[in-house]
Amino acid sequence: MQIQGKTFLVTGGASGLGEASTRELVAAGANVIIADLNSDKGEALANELGDSVRFSRCDVTSGDDVQAAVALAESEFGGIHGSVNCAGIAVVQKLLDRDNNPADLDQFSKGVNINLVGTFNVARLVAASIAKRVAANGGPANEDQGVIINTASVAAYDGQVGQGSYASSKAGVVGLNLPLARELTRHGIRVMTIAPGIFNTPMMESLPEKARGQLETAVPYPKRLGAPKEFGELVCHIASNGYLNGEVIRLDGAIRMT
C-alpha cells in the first residue's frame, strides 16, 4: 500500500509508541486520526502536525467512541485505510500476595478488556469501514485495500511473575492475528501484529536510573532500550509492504525475558 494520501486510525496515538507511529505515518504523507483518552496531548499533537491530523477522544473498549473516530476519518478524509492499535495498560499483580490472598479479579479483567477486547473492537469497526468502501468500489481485485496493525508484547511469549493479566491479554492479541488475517483476505485487508520488547516510552522514563540500566543490560543487542521511532518505522514498513500478512514480528533486540 502506498502510504501517501491514505488515512490511518492510531489508538493511544498521543504518546509513546502510538505517538511515534502517528509522527512516522504523517512524515510518510498519511492522514491520521489520533484516538486517545488524553485530550490535552492529543489535541496538542494534532495541532503540531497540521491539517492531515485530527484528534478524537476515544476509549477503545467503547463501540461508540471507536465508531466516532472511524466516522471522523470518513468525513474528514473520505475514508479509512488502516489502524495501528497501540492503546493498552500494564496491570501488575501476582495471583497470590505474600499472605496468600487472591489477586483482584477486576484488575485482571480491566487489563484483558483494554488490551485484548479493545484491540478486537478497533479491528472490527475499522475492517467494517474498509470493507464497505471496497464493496462500493466493486471489490478488492486482489489489491491491497487496507491494513490492521495490532500491538502485542514479548510478554505474550515470556511473561514474568506478576504479568498474568498483561501477558495473557497480549497473548490473546497474538492469537487474534492469523484468524483475522485469514478472514479479511476477501476484502483485501491485511492483519499484522508487532510484539515490542522494552522501549524508551514515558513509562520507562519514570523508572529510577538503576532500574533502567538493568533493563538495558538485559537486551542482547543493541544494548539499549528500543526507540519509539523504530516502532513507528516498522509500522510504516508493514503498511507499505503488501506481502506482509498474518505474521507477528518481535521488535526486541533479541531479548528473552527471564
Residue 166 is among the residues annotated as catalytic for this protein: yes
Is 98 inside any structural domain?
yes
- Per the domain annotation, does 193 fall within a domain? yes
Nearest to 85 by CA among 49, 52, 61, 109: 61
**Residue 12 lies inside a defined structural domain of this protein:** yes
147 three-class SS: strand
Model confidence band, residue 212 (pLDDT cutoffs 50, 70, 90):
confident
Q: What pLDDT, on the 0 to 100 scale, is given for residue 231?
A: 98
Q: Look at 159 and 118; give whichever has higher pLDDT.
A: 118
CATH number at residue 23: 3.40.50.720
Average pLDDT score, the chain: 95
Cα dist. 105→95, 102, 121, 129, 195 in Å? 10, 8, 22, 34, 25
Question: Is position 66 within any domain?
Answer: yes
For 221-241, what is each residue's pLDDT tens digit? 999 999 999 999 999 999 999
Residues 246, 191: contact at Cβ < 8 Å?
A: yes
Alpha-carbon span 255 to 195, nearest angstrom: 12
Residue 247 inside a domain? The answer is yes
Among residues 157, 166, 221, 243, which one is catalytic?
Answer: 166
At 216, the pLDDT band (50, 70, 90 cuts) reads confident
Residues 171-192 pLDDT 10s? 999 999 999 999 999 999 999 9
Considering the domain boundaries, does residue 2 fall inside one?
Answer: no
Total tally of structural domains belonging to the chain: 1
pLDDT at 140: 79
Kindly state the average pLDDT of the residues 4-22. 97
pLDDT band at 96; cut points 50, 70, 90: very high
pLDDT at 203 over 80: no
Q: What is the pLDDT of residues 26-76, one digit of tens each?
A: 999 999 999 999 999 999 999 999 999 999 999 999 999 999 999 999 999
CA distance 100 to 8: 46
- Predicted TM-score of the model (pTM): 0.96
Best CA proximity match to 129, nearest among 89, 171, 80 = 80
Residue 70: CB atoms within 10 Å? 24
pLDDT of 206: 64
